[in-house]
Amino acid sequence: MATGTLYMIPCPITDETAPWEVLPEANRRVMAELDYFIVENLRTARRFLSRAALGLQIDTLDLRELNEHTTAGAAVERLLEPLLAGRSAGVISEAGVPGVADPGALVVEAAHRHDIRVVPLVGPSSIILAMMASGLNGQSFAFNGYLPVKGPERLRAIRRYERRAQTEGQTQLFIEAPYRNAKLFAELVEQLQPDTRLLAAVDLTAPTEWIALRTVAEWRRSELPDLQRRPMIFGIG
């Protein structure tokens, strides 16, 4: 029996943007044929599928969770059982593209081991969008996830990424929990070298989207924006 296909289905980064304002029409045709979805969050996945207006009965869909608490092994293998039986599935992140800064990578890795076809669909990625609009080196860049929470470790990480940007020319991207954005941004402006370029990419794809690249010296002379509780990508170059 032929196996099903695992589709990597992007969703909007923000609820302020309707799905088909940021997703290509080709995704609609794929999604409308599926009744099995592996999702990071049940509530947000149901809301996305409902807003996508696919003509599906949301309550009849088979939605199974794969989140940060899921570990590789038997739980992931069970998610693949329908695909091994010939049923296709879609993977949906809580926001943006699945498999990138997202636990969906676990089921993708397992799918490859079982020779299940994996098809990535086009959609918004905050990391790529921030890089595109940054003006920083797009030939070599790294996404580093979250910085350490503890002060000394966080400062060491900031210095390490700055050295890498200066010595290797590699753009360094990272994120923070939205409620800590303002504190981290102030710390970056205080600790980084004056000629280091610092990117702020805020509310990407939302009506309030704001992207700015300045040297740290320039940031020190300007009034810092209100970043609290706003999704944001930081960049150093």
Q: Which of 4-8, 122-126, 220-224 has the lowest mean pLDDT?
A: 220-224
Q: Structure pTM? A: 0.92
Assess whether pLDDT exceeds 80 at residue 172. Answer: yes
Per the model's pLDDT, the better-predicted residue between 176 and 223 turns out to be 176
- Mean per-residue pLDDT over the chain, rounded: 95
Q: Of 87, 107, 88, 89, whose CA–CA distance to 99 is shortest?
A: 107
Check residue 70 and give its pLDDT. Answer: 82
CA distance 61 to 42: 11
Q: Is the dihedral of CA 150, 154, 155, 157 positive or negative?
A: positive
Q: How far apart are CA 125 and CA 128, in angstroms?
A: 5
Mean pLDDT of 79-86: 97
pLDDT of residue 145: 94
| Alpha-helical runs (H) found in the chain | 19-22, 25-32, 42-51, 74-84, 105-113, 126-132, 151-168, 181-191, 216-221
Output 112 or 67, whichever has higher pLDDT. 112
Mean pLDDT across 117-132 = 97
